[in-house]
Chains A and B, each alone.
Chain A
Amino acid sequence: ETGVTQTPRHLVMGMTNKKSLKCEQHLGHNAMYWYKQSAKKPLELMFVYSLEERVENNSVPSRFSPECPNSSHLFLHLHTLQPEDSALYLCASSQELGRGTEAFFGQGTRLTVV
């Protein structure tokens, strides 16, 4: 248990559906991240939020829309996804990465797009 909780753990959705992934941390961290992990590529950073402000959008398609309403919660809204978007989506949080800090990861959401 890392203190970062993701829901749902598994999600199957059609290409026309709209769904949201949720991430929650109560570690007092001020930065949150979305990563995508697929079989064909290494862990890819998607978005970074620092103090609830998006500071990085790693060329992610607009069908992925992040939201960070407060420092403890992070969402990833999904719509009109493609089958190649099927992957494990990992949320992480940290204090601003600095000397001695580290990122803690949630269990991930296994997404399948059909």
Chain B
Amino acid sequence: ELKVEQNPLFLSMQEGKNYTIYCNYSTTSDRLYWYRQDPGKSLESLFVLLSNGAVKQEGRLMASLDTKARLSTLHITAAVHDLSATYFCAVALKLTQGGSEKLVFGKGTKLTVNP
């Protein structure tokens, strides 16, 4: 069974600081997703990482994937209050029936950026 572990689960940081959220997973997968969720809102797709060594950046967020280590990171640079949200990583897993796949999510990291 695929397990996806994120850490930390809670992160409180000051504006302007840098930090990294880690996502480890237990079985082979070559695709990893990062989502953001604001309170009471839906999940918003941030990054799709498709191969070993993939790195994507959007604004103050940068995500990377190391499939050999089964590790993805989400790095936050010079945090601002608007980044406060819960961030989820998810790993694609093939289903036993047909060619369909599903996403298995980590528990999420609740990020609070303080002024």
Residues of A within 8 A of B48 (CB): 100-102
Q: Number of A-B pairs whose CB atoms are under 8 Å? A: 65
Name the segment of B20-28, B39-47, B61-69, B74-82 touching the other chain: B39-47
Distance of B79 from chain A, by nearest CB (Å): 24
**Interface residue? A66 (CB, 8 A):** no
Interface string of B95-110 (1 = CB under 8 A from A): 1011111111111100
Find out whether the CB atom of A90 lies under 8 angstroms from the CB atom of B100. no
Q: Which listed residue, A42, A56, A90, A96, touches B99 by the CB 8 Å rule?
A: A96
Find out whether the CB atom of B103 lies under 8 angstroms from the CB atom of A50. no
Find out whether the CB atom of B92 lies under 8 angstroms from the CB atom of A97. yes
Binding site for A on B (CB under 8 A): 4, 31, 33, 35, 40-45, 48, 50, 88, 90, 92, 95, 97-108
- A interface size (C-beta, 8 A): 27
Q: Which listed residue, A31, A99, A108, touches B42 by the CB 8 Å rule?
A: A108
Find out whether the CB atom of B45 lies under 8 angstroms from the CB atom of A50. no
Given contacts A55-B97, A97-B92, contact A102 B33 (CB under 8 A): yes
Nearest-CB residue, chain B, relative to A91: B42
Residues of A within 8 A of B92 (CB): 97
Find out whether the CB atom of A105 lies under 8 angstroms from the CB atom of B42. yes
Find out whether the CB atom of B101 lies under 8 angstroms from the CB atom of A99. no
Q: Which residues A84-103 have CB closer than 8 A to chain B?
A: 90, 92, 96-103
Given contacts A50-B98, A100-B50, contact A45 B42 (CB under 8 A): no
**Interface residue? A2 (CB, 8 A):** yes
CA distance A90 to B35 in the complex (A): 14
Q: Which residues A49-102 have CB closer than 8 A to chain B?
A: 50, 55-56, 90, 92, 96-102
